[in-house]
Structure 1
């Protein structure tokens, strides 16, 4: 063998050397054919649209704020349309005594009776509807 047959960098025969034997070229790139994608389908309803569902009845542990709305308006109407908050709560408790649930007497995390909290939320809804006014602090008044 001659010097030409050996690699100058690694002293191996060029037939086994990585310098004299470059790696084989990558296989010819085969063209990938994209798989066809499903086209979006517009669903057609063959049956008529269902009728509006009946209102869902929710059984709360405590009385919801909506139950207080008519009672608040009644109590304010009986007392000339304006009443101090504490007096209103006393009259409201008497008016709704039978409808209040045992859980209404529990305290909220803030330390307020649940039914009073619900009554205050009902008042906010009545103010938003324009049936009550904010008026002076501590006074509940009809619009």
Structure 2
């Protein structure tokens, strides 16, 4: 039997994220929600209720402003986001969810909760609780 390949921790975290993303995207597509990309899903997750600038979205997502801008405009075209003037600054625009975007966001949260329960059924509730607790801890700055 060949030796089992041991994956790096970042690789394992990436695989775990992809498991949730694929489950979420499949469930949203099955529900008839406009097709979205993993980058657009990530953008939706970091968006403030009252709106967020594209620059701030890019920073939170760890992507370029151009990548965030493309994701925003794809979601605007899908009717899930809108851009409005920022009341605090005439030079900035805020991105926020439309009513359809809010419905989609609530649906996505429900799907993610279901996926988390499914994961608990597969690997055990204690393992999921420990994983969540470890991920919610403050890890401090990278070395």
Q: Which has the higher contact order (CA 8 A, sep 6+)?
A: 1
Q: Which has the larger radius of gyration?
A: 1
**Same-fold status (TM-score > 0.5):** no
Q: Which has the higher strand share?
A: 2
What TM-score, normalized to structure 2? Answer: 0.25
Q: Which has the higher helix share?
A: 2
